[in-house]
Chains A and B, each alone.
Chain A
Amino acid sequence: EDKVVQSPLSLVVHEGDTVTLNCSYEVTNFRSLLWYKQEKKAPTFLFMLTSSGIEKKSGRLSSILDKKELFSILNITATQTGDSAVYLCAVERGGSNYKLTFGKGTLLTVNP
């Protein structure tokens, strides 16, 4: 059974702090790992990672994948209150299913 574990489950920081969110996984026939941000509505796509060691970056957010150790991290620098959300990690299975298995998410609260 595919499994995704995110840590921490919740995190409270002050504006300007840097945070690191963790995601470890076990999946049959790995295709990709995805990060989504969810703010009381539909998940919105952040990153898709398929290769180890290649950092994906978008503004203050960045992410990297380690396929040998089966984990990924999502970094957010200089956090803002607008970064408050649940961050979801998901792995996509290869083959003919394309099923996404999600972790339970990390609830990030950024206080002013």
Chain B
Amino acid sequence: EAQVTQNPRYLITVTGKKLTVTCSQNMNHEYMSWYRQDPGLGLRQIYYSMNVEVTDKGDVPEGYKVSRKEKRNFPLILESPSPNQTSLYFCASRTLAGDRNEQFFGPGTRLTVL
């Protein structure tokens, strides 16, 4: 089944404790992206990647890092989480080939930083 998976789905942590949210897709998509969703603010892009070893900032990159060492994986790293990073996080992927260009979303990771 074609899908985007994220782990963990729920995480409660404390300020300053490094964490990684994994994202993996099995559709051989070149493009992957991270979004956060907050009440009243909607979905905002954090980082994106056009292909292996190619990443760039979105609208709200502060406090986050990403890496793209393999095509299928795009982990989101919070080196020193803070309470304002409490949010619902979505990973998405998309092919850059042909005219089918919708982004497929993972199930989401609800993060609480105390």
Contacts and interface: CB of A to CB of B under 8 A. Distances in A.
B97 interface: no
B74 interface: no
Interface stretch (A10-18, A20-28, A39-47, A65-73): A39-47
Given A42-B107, A104-B41, A48 B90 contact: no
Main secondary structure of the interface of A (DSSP, over half): strand
Interface of B: 31, 33, 35, 40-45, 48, 50, 56, 58-59, 90, 92, 94, 96, 101-108
**Best-surrounded residue of B31, B43, B45, B94 (most CB of chain A within 10 A):** B43
The size bracket of the interface on A is 20 to 34
Nearest to B94: A98
A43 B4 CA distance: 12
A104 B40 contact: yes
Nearest to B58: A99
B110 to A, nearest CB: 11
Nearest to B43: A102
A97 B103 CA distance: 13
A96 B50 contact: yes
A88 B45 CA distance: 15
A99 B48 contact: yes
Contacts of B41: 104
